[in-house]
Structure 1
Amino acid sequence: MIHILASFKVKNDKLSNFISLCNELIEESRKEKGCISYHLQQNTEKENHLVFVEEWESNEAIEQHNASRHFTRIVPLLVEMCESAPIIQTFNKLV
């Protein structure tokens, strides 16, 4: 099992649009084979700091996700709305 944390610092005036696109990305991603969970979290102190918390069955499932039509269309739009490049971290479940 693999977890991904994808952290975004969104421009304040783009937050509503960002979240709207995230909802579409989440809806489509949850339908994918190998997706165990896919959520968006908002920092309680900095509302423009959002993190995708994803859980996948395998690296193959992640590769297919990253190549999907919805991912390749939406993620570049999300990045454009950010103050800086997102930070993507991948973790293997140990326990």
Structure 2
Amino acid sequence: MSKRSSLMDRRALFSSAAAAALLAATGVSAAGAPKSGGRLRIALSGGTRQDTWAKGDGLFMQVARQGMVFDTLTEVAANGTLRGELAIGWTASPD
């Protein structure tokens, strides 16, 4: 092994060790308990500053806005079938 390749190997070793130490020092601590409150900001195509969450522009848009925030019991899959989102099962009643 030549002196030059030995030097390159040591540089690679020290560089890797320094990178590993730096990566370990920037570890993320566990998140605390969530806090109540805050602000929800939503961007809609064609939206204005006067738009509100409860804007009376039709049931479809109200459901679409709420669907961006809240999960539902079921959802329509890409193939058109109904699948559970929050629900893990369901049965039909005779009425």
Tell me if both proteins adopt one fold, taking TM over 0.5 as the criterion.
no
Q: TM-score range by the shorter chain?
A: under 0.3
Q: TM-score, normalised by structure 2?
A: 0.27
Q: Which has the higher helix share?
A: 1
Q: TM-score, normalised by structure 1?
A: 0.27
